[in-house]
Structure 1
Amino acid sequence: MIVLDKQLRTEAILLDQKLNQWADNEMRLSDKACRAKDLPADFVREFFEFVSKISLKLLDDKDNFYGYFFFQMGKEIRLNIGSATATNFKGAKYVMYFNPFIFLPLTIDQMGNCIRHEILHIVFQHLQRAKDLQDHYSKLALNLAMDIVVNTYLRPLPDDAATLDWVNLQYHLYLTPFGTLEDYVQEIQEAIDKREKTTTITDEDNTADTDILTKFDPLRTHDVWNESDTIDAQLLGRFTEKYVDSASRGKLSDHIANAIAQIKDSNHTLPWHFYLKKLAGTVASGNKKTTARRNRRQPERLDLRGQLRNYKAKIYIALDISGSISDDEFKQAMEEVFQIVREYKTEITIIQCDDHIRKVYTVRTIKDLQARPAGRGGTCYAPVIEYANKHKIDLLLYFTDGKGEDKLRTIPSGYKILWLIGGNGDELSLDNPYGIVKRLHPLEEENSAAEFFFVEKGGYSMNNQEGISLNF
């Protein structure tokens, strides 16, 4: 193993020399910055051959989970990422990017841990969790918090890696190991807000247009996440579950096993109204001023207020009147819808439909719901999708028994969809739902009258809905 590491290190040194020679020639012969697409083909080939050897080393490791996970991922070179490796979800797969300027000078063990670092971000669901936090915390605080979570489990790390000890020293904190992302980011943000203007690391991104980065930059480590395909959390969770299932071929370390259990739990036990609240909360409309945050551009000016994104959802609800969802079941679900969207002060539009759109009207309270006519046709989702595309909505809830076409003739554009399957339906007929699909459990027949009375009085019971897991 020691001999192999020496051979790999020699290859890395030679590749690093080729890379720097190319960069020097490019900058001397032209005014343009170095770009990954301009890299010599032979260097790219040799680099990925080298990465393949690192991958085989991970497969031979006692904890081979990382090797099998990495084997499934796409691999690309990016020169404008602020770390040796970075990850996003692109083209229906996870992709790992390498910045050879930062990657090649590392030791072989450090290279392996950079790959493990990115895989832990995925397994700990940081891509999804960061989206929930990014409107409340700075990019720097989020990047540091995510990195110290995963770096706790890795040794050796690059000398400039964001570790728990480094963050504690830089920001005069007393963070302890094995904390949560949410706890870390809160304390780091408070420390960043207290720092003097002379800090060496700020949340101002002064290198956004740089085509090449040669040193670790904690502000740029996760920029590629913003380039990920637009995909709902549940579908991304299913993709992640497939990756971890394929990679779990031996004894897993405790932190990996626990993270996988949480992925599976969140994929199968979260109730539909959880997803509705999550989706409605991600629709942003403008900014609002706040005294709780400093102005990003002039943090020393305490008289200037900062900004938070203001949330307001334009929600359409399609009701399949040809399906077998009962009136009581629909009214009970609608009460939960109104409770969730009430805080967003938005108007809800109801679409009654079967194989055509039969009626469209707006509601503000559950009393505005109109009687549902008997369906005159079968079920076809395309008319509603086309209507939603035309009216540029933000969120579509579709109540149906799921028995429609298997392929949409029009692709949803610019909004999120939550499919709620009720009545006698078990699953959605579409091969690709372009959104989240959740089962709406029917009411118990003997309790339906009581539940309806409770809804009409303004209360709500979730006893007959999907079970809620507290292990997020």
Structure 2
Amino acid sequence: MESHFDSQVKQLYEKSKEIVNTTDMLKSNRAGEKWEPVWPQDFKRDFFNLVDQVSLSLMQDNDDFYGYFLIQMAREIRVDMSSPTGVNFKGARYVIYFNPIIFLTLTLKQMESVIKHEIFHIISMHLTRAKALKGRYSTLAINMAMDVVVNQFLEYLPPYATTLESVNLHYNLKLKPYETFEYYVEKLQTEFDLQEEDEEGEENDANENEDLKTAYNPEKTHDMWGESDEIEEQTIKEFTEKFINNALKGKIPAYLEDMIAALKNSKGELPWNLYLSRLMGTVESNKKKVITRRSRRQPERLDLRGNLRSHKAEIAVAIDISGSISDEEFKQAIKEVLHIVKNYNHEITIIECDNQVRRAYKVRSIKDIQDRIAVGGGTQFTPVFEYANKKKINLLIYFTDGKGEDKLKVLPRGYKVLWVISGRGDELSLKEPYGIVKKLKKIEVKDVTLEMSDVRSDGYSMNNQAPTI
């Protein structure tokens, strides 16, 4: 028997189709750039009344955090987005948008999930984290990576949702669960590059009316974020914390508690390893021909070869051997470096130095790391830069306790510099570092922290929920 809620949904869906198909009711919505149906007041009233029912259902399902968060958000109707819901930040508050043509095809539980999905993005600070990666990764890779992260914690997803399981199956990957957004975007972009995915992605939306979206498109699903007000990251973080505090009315899942704690404790500064990941994205990368893959655009042409990046990123890793950094610290840091650069065509040179360069050698894996020379003495940074200037390197990573000259006698030429201060060091003695200075501190930047009580026997469940991933 059809419920009253289902009957409302069906009526609103038919009404929304009737409205968007009445072309003479269209008007310019944003300074002539887009067109939006004139939504009658009675439709908007009934539609947002339905959203209120979804919010009430969230609270009854012990998901009251999401319900209270939703109450604070402004609401608007838009049919020019390729997802049932979307969010951005405008006028000092978060706005949630609904495309009724897509949203009203969902069940009640699916409606709850897509609303949770948007709030999850907000708490994860994906709006600002995605902006930082724009231009270095394709829109498709960024969007899919964010959705893979979020959807691992949600049940009752729409059948078209981007999940870890669907991505692994479609691209024949083995992405690990519960990793960071940055981990997934790097893995996906590498696969797209191998398959000759261009920046625009698949052309499955080419003939669609730009002002009317009736189906989900993963490359377009977060376009709404681009309309957010220009605002500093710290300011939007403060607004997000305010929304969170107002939504903390009852018990919340452990994974949300950890996310919220991480957000509040964050100083908005990337640890050295994630900053290195960003730097690698700025290294010049051309393409080379390979015979291991067929051309994706013309797979039947066996004479055409696929593309891989041909530019070899020359990376120098300097290690202060004067006794300021332990072997354990350095080996762990090198593991991080190798993990970050492994998807790039790279060559790494280890430079051992104190007051002079003692040894330099190439490494390809952690097995190539040699025992450090037992030499004690003071530290000078200049010899490393003299050595690096003679080589065609793209990036110098310098591990040190920070104690050395206050001024370089030789300045870096044509490469980026990342200083990593050991856990026992305080600051860099140089007045002008000619690069970024970070602390060597193992910081796991996860979107969540799992406890065993959160994971069911199938390994993909949170709080006795088994997300469809």
TM norm. shorter chain > 0.5: yes
Within 5 Å, which residues of 2 pair with 1:27-426?
35-195=35-195, 202=202, 206=206, 210-266=210-266, 269=267, 290-291=285-286
Can you list the C-alpha shifts for 1:117-155, whole angstroms capped at 9, x where unaligned? 000001111111111222221000111111111111111
Can you list the C-alpha shifts for 1:9-51, whole angstroms capped at 9, x where unaligned? 1100000011112233337999x99943422222122111111
8 A Cα contact 2:195 2:306, kept in partner: no
Q: How far apart, CA to CA, are the structure 2 residues paired with 1:34 and 1:460?
A: 43
Verify: 1:15 aligned to 2:12, yes or no. yes
Q: Give the SS at the match of 2:95.
A: strand
Q: Give the SS at the match of 2:286.
A: strand
Distance apart, 1:470 and its partner CA: 3.2
Distance apart, 1:302 and its partner CA: 7.2
**TM-aligned CA distance change 1:249 to 1:29, over 3 Å:** closer
Distance apart, 1:63 and its partner CA: 2.3
Distance apart, 1:205 and its partner CA: 6.8
8 A Cα contact 2:271 2:443, kept in partner: no
Q: Which moved more, 1:84-93 or 1:54-63?
A: 54-63
Distance apart, 1:202 and its partner CA: 1.9
**TM-aligned CA distance change 1:460 to 1:118, over 3 Å:** closer
**TM-aligned CA distance change 1:183 to 1:55, over 3 Å:** same
Verify: 1:26 aligned to 2:23, yes or no. yes
Q: How far apart, CA to CA, are the structure 1 residues paired with 2:177 and 2:112?
A: 22
Structure with a larger share of its residues in helix: 1
**TM-aligned CA distance change 1:33 to 1:15, over 3 Å:** farther
Can you list the C-alpha shifts for 1:402-454, whole angstroms capped at 9, x where unaligned? xxxxxxxxxxxxxxxxxxxxxxxxxxxxxxxxxxxxxxxxxxxxxxxxx9994
Q: How many corresponding residue pairs?
A: 319
The residue type equivalent to 1:104 in the other structure is: L
**TM-aligned CA distance change 1:89 to 1:456, over 3 Å:** closer
**TM-aligned CA distance change 1:49 to 1:136, over 3 Å:** same
The residue type equivalent to 1:16 in the other structure is: Y
The residue type equivalent to 2:286 in the other structure is: T
8 A Cα contact 1:270 1:467, kept in partner: no
* TM-score calculated relative to the size of structure 1: 0.57
Q: Give the SS at the match of 1:89.
A: strand
**TM-aligned CA distance change 1:23 to 1:63, over 3 Å:** closer
Q: Structure with the greater relative contact order (CA < 8 A, sep ≥ 6): 1 or 2? A: 2
8 A Cα contact 2:196 2:307, kept in partner: no
Q: How far apart, CA to CA, are the structure 2 residues paired with 1:460 and 1:219?
A: 34
The residue type equivalent to 1:85 in the other structure is: T
**TM-aligned CA distance change 1:467 to 1:45, over 3 Å:** farther
Q: How far apart, CA to CA, are the structure 1 residues paired with 2:296 and 2:248?
A: 47
Q: How far apart, CA to CA, are the structure 2 residues paired with 1:193 and 1:104?
A: 36
Q: Look up the match of 1:442.
A: none
8 A Cα contact 2:25 2:38, kept in partner: no
Q: Give the SS at the match of 1:36.
A: strand
Q: Give the SS at the match of 1:291.
A: coil
Q: How far apart, CA to CA, are the structure 2 residues paired with 1:184 and 1:453?
A: 33
Distance apart, 1:86 and its partner CA: 0.5
8 A Cα contact 1:114 1:157, kept in partner: yes
* TM-score calculated relative to the size of structure 2: 0.57
How much is the aligned-residue C-alpha RMSD, in angstroms?
4.7
Distance apart, 1:292 and its partner CA: 5.4
Q: How far apart, CA to CA, are the structure 2 residues paired with 1:293 and 1:70?
A: 49
Distance apart, 1:6 and its partner CA: 2.2
8 A Cα contact 2:288 2:307, kept in partner: no
**TM-aligned CA distance change 1:305 to 1:70, over 3 Å:** same
Q: How far apart, CA to CA, are the structure 2 residues paired with 1:125 and 1:96?
A: 15
8 A Cα contact 1:76 1:95, kept in partner: yes
The residue type equivalent to 2:96 in the other structure is: M
Q: Look up the match of 1:349.
A: none
Verify: 1:470 aligned to 2:465, yes or no. no
**TM-aligned CA distance change 1:19 to 1:288, over 3 Å:** same
8 A Cα contact 1:66 1:119, kept in partner: yes
**TM-aligned CA distance change 1:33 to 1:253, over 3 Å:** same
Distance apart, 1:255 and its partner CA: 1.4
Within 5 Å, which residues of 2 pair with 1:419-434?
none
**TM-aligned CA distance change 1:29 to 1:137, over 3 Å:** closer
- % of aligned pairs identical? 37
8 A Cα contact 1:33 1:211, kept in partner: no
Can you list the C-alpha shifts for 1:365-402, whole angstroms capped at 9, x where unaligned? 989xxxxxxxxxxxxxxxxxxxxxxxxxxxxxxxxxxx
8 A Cα contact 1:140 1:203, kept in partner: no
Within 5 Å, which residues of 2 pair with 1:421-460?
454-455=429-430
The residue type equivalent to 1:38 in the other structure is: V
8 A Cα contact 1:87 1:225, kept in partner: yes
**TM-aligned CA distance change 1:130 to 1:461, over 3 Å:** closer
8 A Cα contact 1:148 1:163, kept in partner: yes
Q: Look up the match of 1:372.
A: none
8 A Cα contact 1:137 1:185, kept in partner: yes
The residue type equivalent to 2:69 in the other structure is: F
8 A Cα contact 1:33 1:212, kept in partner: no
Can you list the C-alpha shifts for 1:183-241, whole angstroms capped at 9, x where unaligned? 1111111222233679x962797379700000111111000111111111111111111
Q: How far apart, CA to CA, are the structure 1 residues paired with 2:130 and 2:242?
A: 21
**TM-aligned CA distance change 1:462 to 1:129, over 3 Å:** closer
8 A Cα contact 2:87 2:94, kept in partner: yes
The residue type equivalent to 1:248 in the other structure is: L
Q: Give the SS at the match of 1:179.
A: coil
The residue type equivalent to 1:223 in the other structure is: D
Q: How far apart, CA to CA, are the structure 2 residues paired with 1:254 and 1:222?
A: 27
The residue type equivalent to 2:151 in the other structure is: N
